[in-house]
Structure 1
Amino acid sequence: MVFDQTPYSCRVEWGRRGAREAAERGDIVIIVDVLSFSSTVISALEMGAVIFPYPPHLDGEEYANIVKAEYILGRAEASKRGKATLSPVSFSHEHANKKFVLSSMNGSFCTWIAKKTQAVLVGGILNAEAVASVANQISKQRKASITIIPCGEQWNETREYEDTLRPAVEDYLGAGAILSYLGGDKSPEAKICMAGFLSVREKIEDVIWECGSGRELRERGFDADVKHCIRLNTYKTVPMLQDGYFVDVRKYFT
């Protein structure tokens, strides 16, 4: 039998393979990629933008032409042109009702893999309580389990036989934050993840600021991104994938 944390209704699975397993079970999936896919999607929808997630191994620019959207470029290139980027702070109310295609190695890819399951939500530190509230209601309505997918990062220059997934502490803590608001029976993996968050809740901003991914972004000049993404429960926006793009479904749930 495949490792799947049954019979618990709240589970934690890592990365693309975890997303596939959760989708094949028909679970409600919550994608967590704190730095920065999840935070960018949440922030963009908060500003009224429309985001189409797309995997990086396919032609995102061609897809953007098909859906009549702007293809989001990398942080450095887009910032030079004054365009929206994977950086969540690059979105403002000027982007309301504009469509964007967002590709990333982790969050977008995991979303694309899980897209055929009954509900794909996007969560992070920014909206932990709000996304958990919606997931709780969907789970009750549909009698479905919930799997949180901390996406992690990808190692560069891997050698033969080496794993490419690099578990990321910010995604683990983001998953733990959401779990702390979820009902249902939690697997041992989920309980430990939640405990990790609760143990650093009062200093989570400092922890992520100093973690490997936080330091990487800061050294590249994106301090503002890190500061933005680690603000607990700042937004009530809850992105859900519908017809290939994310919509804010909070208005449908109380």
Structure 2
Amino acid sequence: MQWFSQGKFEVRLEWGLSAVEHLAGEVDCAVVVDVMSFSTCVSLAVNNGACIYPYPWKDASAIEYGMKIGASTASPDRRFSGEGYTLSPASIRNISNGEKLVLPSPNGSAVSFKARDAGIAVFSGCFRNLSATANACRSFRRVLVIPCGELWPDGSLRPCIEDYVASGGIIAAMAREDCSPEAQAAVAAWQHHHKQNLELLRECSSALELTQRGFDEDVNLCLEIDKSKKECRLWGDAYVSALAKKSSS
């Protein structure tokens, strides 16, 4: 056990891609938390019965990949109007049952696939599917919750409070006693913000970025709690619900 592994505890928390690289080998499942907006987009789609195919690059190869697997491809940029899907949660909320959508989102996708390749179960969690995600994780003994954060222009990690608070909410909903200090601190952050109905998070950096660009509706969708009753699990290359996986088996 390395000093950074949180190996004495069943429920652990660490940030970003490095969390997978250094901690995923000692857990049974991971929860990828990227609230604004990867995990929220995934939850909205899966709740409607759609499949989300994460894709780690925002370039023309995403469209080629979508054509190869018979899926639509979301535009990597948010936009105010027009047809098709984008990385804006508002553009995805009415996606149809059975639809397949490629979501080119480097941060959430990279963490998802890195965790999958570690040979563990992978879930995407956010405020919208907080309880459903916690319920799905209860059957796993060792759980790693990964707030993804964002990236500064130089590529370094920018920890995001909304990811941290949602991670704490998921951990709290698991109702497990054996949590690392890092996990317990996130639970405390959740409890503080939950008492205020997440209103303070409307002023966090990520929310202000979206608001200043005119995407207030995305902020509203990202900060809704337990609107979805479906967990989002990565099966192969796609996020689906457990029910959808069983019906297709």
TM-score of the superposed pair, with normalisation by structure 1: 0.88
Report the counterpart of residue 121 of structure 1 in structure 2: 123
Q: Distance in 1 between matches of 2:214 and 2:44?
A: 20
Instruction: Determine if contact 1:37/1:86 at 8 Å carries over to the other structure.
Output: yes
Report the counterpart of residue 146 of structure 2 in structure 1: 149
Report the counterpart of residue 113 of structure 2 in structure 1: 112
Structure 1 residue 167 and structure 2 residue 169: aligned? no
Report the counterpart of residue 190 of structure 2 in structure 1: 197
After superposition, what is the alpha-carbon deviation per residue over 1:182-238, rounded to whole angstroms, capped at 9, x for unaligned? Answer: 224100110011011112212143111010110000001110010111111121110
Instruction: Determine if contact 2:49/2:244 at 8 Å carries over to the other structure.
Output: no
Compute the displacement of 1:175 (Å): 0.2
Q: Distance in 2 between matches of 1:192 and 1:206?
A: 20
Compute the displacement of 1:164 (Å): 0.8
CA spacing shift, 1:76–1:131, aligned 2, 3 Å: closer
> Which amino acid letter does the alignment assign opposite residue 9 of structure 1?
E
Instruction: Determine if contact 1:88/1:225 at 8 Å carries over to the other structure.
Output: yes
Compute the displacement of 1:25 (Å): 2.5
Compute the displacement of 1:250 (Å): 5.7
TM-score of the superposed pair, with normalisation by structure 2: 0.90
Q: Distance in 1 between matches of 2:216 and 2:81?
A: 17
Match for 1:62 among 61, 64, 89? 64
Instruction: Determine if contact 1:44/1:88 at 8 Å carries over to the other structure.
Output: no
CA spacing shift, 1:129–1:6, aligned 2, 3 Å: same
> What is the number of residues matched between the two proteins?
242
Q: Distance in 1 between matches of 2:23 and 2:242?
A: 21
Report the counterpart of residue 178 of structure 1 in structure 2: 170
> Which amino acid letter does the alignment assign opposite residue 69 of structure 1?
A
Instruction: Determine if contact 1:35/1:213 at 8 Å carries over to the other structure.
Output: yes
Partner-residue secondary structure (3-state), 2:4: coil
Identity of aligned residues (%): 33
Partner-residue secondary structure (3-state), 1:198: helix
Partner-residue secondary structure (3-state), 2:127: coil
Partner-residue secondary structure (3-state), 1:115: helix
Match for 1:238 among 231, 236, 240? 231
Report the counterpart of residue 223 of structure 1 in structure 2: 216
Q: Which moved more, 1:68-77 or 1:166-175?
A: 68-77
> Which amino acid letter does the alignment assign opposite residue 91 of structure 2?
S
Compute the displacement of 1:155 (Å): 0.4
- What stretches of structure 2 of length at least 5 have no aligned partner? none
Report the counterpart of residue 71 of structure 1 in structure 2: 73
Q: Which moved more, 1:201-210 or 1:231-240?
A: 201-210
Q: Distance in 2 between matches of 1:94 and 1:194?
A: 32
Report the counterpart of residue 25 of structure 1 in structure 2: 26
After superposition, what is the alpha-carbon deviation per residue over 1:6-63, rounded to whole angstroms, capped at 9, x for unaligned? Answer: 1100000100111233432243000100101001100011122211112127832222
